[in-house]
Structure formats: structure tokens, C-alpha cells
Chains A and B, each alone.
Chain A
Amino acid sequence: MTPQVVVTCGVGGVGKTTTAAAFGVAHALAGARVVVVTIDPARRLADALGVSLTSHTPERVPLDDPSICGTLSAVMLDRKAMWDSMVRTLAPSADAADRLIHNRYYRAVSTRLTGSHEYMAVELLHALVAEGAWDVIVLDTPPASNAEEFLRAPDRVRRLLDRRVLEALTGSAGGLFGGATRKALGLARRLIGERVFDDIQEFLGLLSAISEQVVAHNAAIDKLLASRSTAFYLVVTVNHGRDDDDARFIETLRERGIRFGGFVANRVHEQPPPIQRFDPHPPPGVDPAAWAQWVTVLGALPAAAAREAEHDRRAAERLASGGDSVWCLPEVPGGAHSVSALRRLAERLPPR
């Protein structure tokens, strides 16, 4: 059976990793075997979950609650290990894989390529699906200045791995390419410097050996992302509002046939209970004038809390204005850094 895939996207600092962990807890509560893939070396989260996240194989998170019948595991993306594993999977022979992996340009360039982080995140997702050991896979995405980067970045690497591009760049296309490309190559060589250009060219030459497998593999990944069992969520802080970047992100998802699960708004303040009468009596020994001042200050708090909550509610409404779902997670003072705090957030996430 195809596992359910949940992808949390968003800009940095909005609580993406926490949201991914909360999704993990939510599905474990519902009885699923869940793995959460984290990208950020979010030490606090790892500590809270009681895992070290140092190896690139999933580690079981101790849930300490017999009522939870599912399991939760976590794994941290290791880009280098992932590139190696992809090359080993796709190379026509072990020899070819070794030649590539031990090439010094491969070692220097592969993990530094722009988009490499995002590309490998999707790769790991695919590998976990293939394992067949998971009911739900939650993928946290790398920090980005804009959420769409997660969808665009792998394309950069893919375009580079395109056979025609590779052949042109490595000069193996013979006379197939026109003067324009040859001229462009000459320019790029001058611009970047011969040494680095030649390094990248050699790396690409080695990579072209697995180019066809990469293309087929990418088609499988696209199919997985566009499947009904995959949903992308956009994580935001509630005061951020709905902006053009969000609209573009949602539009890009639609173009690619990827299901948008909705917004997850973090750190939302909740409406305090209504107050009828606040007239506490001063305790003995307290100056009545000081007490009266305290009563005024404290009496104003529910209204202040209500204003915050109202502000957040309106912001959530604006997020929903495009007809998308908005899942509001309450603010957890000090951050959600324990399984029980994550459980509180999990209760607010979409049901399975």
C-alpha cells in the first residue's frame, strides 16, 4: 500500500520542524507507523523527542504512553549519504557507482550544488516509500527564503542531469549543438574560470553514466508527489497574512497536480473565557490603593488576551480567503519541546 505523505513547507522561523513533529505525533496517535524526516539540525526538537538524530537511518522516538498504538520514528537528512545511496541505486554496476563516489569533484561538488538539499530531501522521501515499512511519512523541508524554493530547487539539479544538457556540457554531443551553445560554453569557461569549469565538466561526465536512470527515477518521484495520498501544507505564523508568495506556492502545487492540504498557522492566541465580575478582596496587610491598581491591571488582561485572539482569528480568516483550509495551532509558551506539548498541537491538525 502507498504510504500517506505529508510535506511541511514554509519560510524559516515559522515552526516548520515543530509542525512536522506534531503531524508525526498526530498520525502515531491514530495508530500509524510514522517516520518524520527533519532537515534542520533542530537539536532542541531531537532532545525533546529523546533521539540523537545522528545516523541517517530512522530512530524510534520513545512515546511513553501505552494508549498510543502507533509508532513514531525520526530521521535527519544526510545529503552526502543520500547522494551516495542514490548513485548506488541508479548506477548500472557497483564499479560505476564507485568510480563516481570516489571522484574528488563528485565529493566537492555534489552536496554544494544549488538545490542539492531539496533534491536529496525528495530522494530520501522516495527511498522511505520504497522501504514499505511506513504508513505515514512526514517530510520537513529545508529553510528557505520562500516556500516555493522547495519545489523549484530540485528542478535545477534535474535540468543539469538532463541527458542533452549533460552531453552539451561535457562535449560528448559532437556537432549536435549549434554555434550559440559552443559560444556560450566558451563564455562560461571565461566567467567561472577554467579550473572549476573543467572540474564540474568531469563530474557531469561521470554523472551522465546514470542520467537515464535519473530521469526515470524523477518521473516516479513526480508521480508520488502528485498522488492522492500526498499533501503539502504551508506553515506560517498567523500574523504573516496571506501574501503573493503563498499564492504563487499554491498555484505551483496546482500546476504540478500536487494536493494542497492547507495552511498550518502557528502560535495562534486563543480566546480567553468571558469574565462577568472581577472584584477580588484585598488580603490583609496589603495597601488598598496598591490593590486597587493591581485589580485594574489584572482586570484589563482578559480584554488584552481577547484582542490578541481576535487579531489572530482575523489573520486566519484572511489566510482562508482563497477557500483553503487553515489549521490553527495554539501558542505554547517556551516552544513545543516535549512529546506531551506536541500532542496538544497534534489534536488541532487535520484528522486522518
Chain B
Amino acid sequence: MSVFSRRLLAVAGKGGVGRTTVAAALALAAGARGRRVCVAELYGAWRIQHLFGARARSYTPIPIAPRVDAMSLDAVDCLDDFGRKKLKIGALVKALLHNRVMGAFLDAVPGLHDLQQLGKIENMLMEPGPGEPRYDLVVLDAPATGHSLTMLAGARAMREMTVVGPFHDLAHRIEALLDDHARTGLVLVTLPEALPVREALELVEALGPDAPLLDAIVVNQVRPASVPAEIAGVPWETVRAALVTDPNPDVQAVLATADQFVLRQHAADRALTRLTNAVRARHAAATTCSLPSVDVDQLTADDVRALARSLVHLGDAT
């Protein structure tokens, strides 16, 4: 089953691994495969919209490619929306939030902000209103790991806490969507470096039976090894053994630099092997794919389109 046949793809990963970029590229790839897609950022972030030329944040989805929209969610917009649609008290919700007492109260209700944003996504997918776009797939740029698991577990906590009422129903519907392994999949983004990979491994190990199914691991920013394992049949070890005895201090300096690169590469390779093994053991259906390195300082929409082309066949049987 291709990852693109899901209804919801949650893209998770630690800060700085390129989660937002991968979410955008996945959305473009899904769009290229003919699916109607929306990529959603949370907590008012609008990096994708900005990258594709928007001048201001937009809660309403805006097109970034054929069949592909991007939206920026935040809890207040979602709560407002929820009030209008579910409780027919739309105009009052903003007043409620601006009331000093209620603002303090609603702000502190555990998990409310996460619940509202996930609830909006569930609603968009499952029962879009008249005149609203209908999406086959929502790609969610989930918050940094640690938080993403809390966020996904939050729906359950809210359902258990509320017992009845509109929030309870909402929590119940979100939970049903997240727990449905046919509809929801998880894509984990990491970098080919020891620390981010170890963090990804911790997340893979922490995924319980109720977590969304792990569909793919995307290793972002992969570049060719600076010191190859061998060249024309001559292994690095042979070369190194010859250089160690060279009296030229410049040769020793180059050797020290090479050792640094090799050390870094090995630490990353070891971590990646452990991650791949853990994924294979626990999530047999998950695939691993690599994305080439791009200059993150000057990331453009074209870079994202190029990455999308690398992802178009993600999860297809070979």
C-alpha cells in the first residue's frame, strides 16, 4: 500500500531535520500522483505558504501546486470554526476567548489547543461543509518529536477526561482517525547524523500499538561520503596506514581532517543501521528513503519541487 493512499500523513521529527520541507514535498508528490492534498502547519506557522509566495499567513487553504493547497492552523481559528459549525455559536467564541476569566480557563485546559487543531483536520477530511474543499489527503507538519507523541496521545486523554460533550465527541473522532491504520500513517524525518538518528530511534521504540502506523523513514540531507570506503580497489585503511608514517606535518593535518570526517560518517552509519534494524523488526511495512542535500539557507519552492520528485514513488512495491 502506497503512503499516498492514506487520508492523513503525520510528518514527525526533531527540530531542524527539515520536517516542514519534507511535509511540503510529500504533499507535492501526492498531488503529482493525482490526489487532492492539503499540507497543514500548526500553531500559526506558515513557512510553506511563505516559501510558495504568500505574503501573509492564511488559515484558509491557498493553492501551491495543481491539486495541492497549504494552510496554517492555530487553536483560536480552529476553536472559532468549531463553535460556528458544531455549536452554532460562532460569533460568541471569539468573545469567549477575549473574556479575561474564560481566556485564562480555556488557555489552561490540558490539550485543548492540540485537540482543536487535530479536530479541524479530522473535520476537513471526514465531513467537509458545503463550499469547502474536499481533500483525499492531509499532510500534517507535526510538532517536534516528544511533543508529537503527546499531541497524538492527547486525544485519548481528552476523551477520558471529558466523558460527554462536544469536546468528548471531537476527541473520539480524532482518536478513531489516528488509530485507523488504513487511514493514518506516520512519516518520520531524520538527518544522516548520529544524534538526530538516535532521536528517531527513540521515537520508533516509543511507538506503541495504538500509535499511527509507521509508513516511512525519510533520511534528509544525504550527501556522498567525503572519505569513500575504497577507491579503485584500494581501501581507506590501506591509505591511512601509509599516511600515518609520513613525516610531512601537512600530511598529518590532512589525515586529522580525514579522520574527523570518517568518525562523523561512522557514527551516522552505525546509528542508521540500528534505526533500519529497529524499523524492520517493529514496522515491517515501513520503507526508508533518502533525500539529497539542499542549501537550507536559500531554500526555494523549486528545491521542494525537486525533493517531491524523489518522493513520488515512496512506498511503491519495487
B263 within 8 A of A: yes
- Indicate if the CB atoms of A44 and B246 lie closer than 8 Å: no
Indicate which residue in B163, B196, B257, B264 contacts A13 across the interface (CB closer than 8 Å).
B196
**What is the total of A-B residue contacts with beta carbons within 8 Å?**
214
Name the residue in A116, A297, A299 with the highest tally of chain B Cβ atoms < 10 Å from its Cβ.
Answer: A297
Q: Which residues of A have CB within 8 Å of B234? A: 286-287, 290-291, 294
Q: Which residues of B have CB within 8 Å of A31? A: none
Minimum CB distance partner of B14 in chain A:
A13
Indicate which residue in A114, A240, A281 contacts B107 across the interface (CB closer than 8 Å).
A114
Q: Which residues of B have CB within 8 Å of A116? A: 110
Interface size class of B (residues with CB under 8 A): 35 or more
Question: What is the CA–CA distance of A287 and B231 in the complex, to the nearest angstrom?
Answer: 11
- Indicate if the CB atoms of B232 and A289 lie closer than 8 Å: yes
B83 within 8 A of A: yes
- Indicate if the CB atoms of B264 and A333 lie closer than 8 Å: yes
User: Contacts A180-B99, A239-B296 known; A196 to B167 CB distance under 8 Å?
Assistant: yes
Query: Which residues of chain B from 31 to 73 have any CB-CB distance to chain A below 8 Å in the complex?
Result: 43
A321 within 8 A of B: no
Chain A interface residues toward B at CB < 8 A: 11-15, 40, 44, 108-109, 112-116, 143-145, 156-157, 159-160, 162, 164-165, 168-169, 177, 180-181, 184-185, 187-188, 190-196, 199-200, 237, 239-241, 272-273, 275-283, 286-287, 289-291, 293-294, 297-299, 301-302, 304-305, 331, 333-335
Between A and B, 23 residue pairs with Cβ closer than 8 Å are: A12-B147, A15-B195, A40-B146, A109-B110, A114-B111, A114-B112, A114-B113, A159-B104, A164-B101, A168-B101, A177-B101, A188-B106, A191-B166, A191-B167, A196-B163, A200-B109, A272-B256, A275-B250, A278-B251, A297-B231, A301-B258, A302-B257, A335-B195
Chain B interface residues toward A at CB < 8 A: 14-17, 43, 83, 87, 89, 92, 95-96, 99-113, 143-147, 157, 161-168, 194-196, 198-199, 226-228, 231-234, 238-239, 241-243, 246, 248, 250-251, 253-254, 256-258, 260-261, 263-264, 267, 296-297
The 8 closest A-B pairs by CB, nearest first: A193-B165, A13-B14, A112-B110, A290-B232, A12-B144, A159-B104, A283-B242, A13-B15
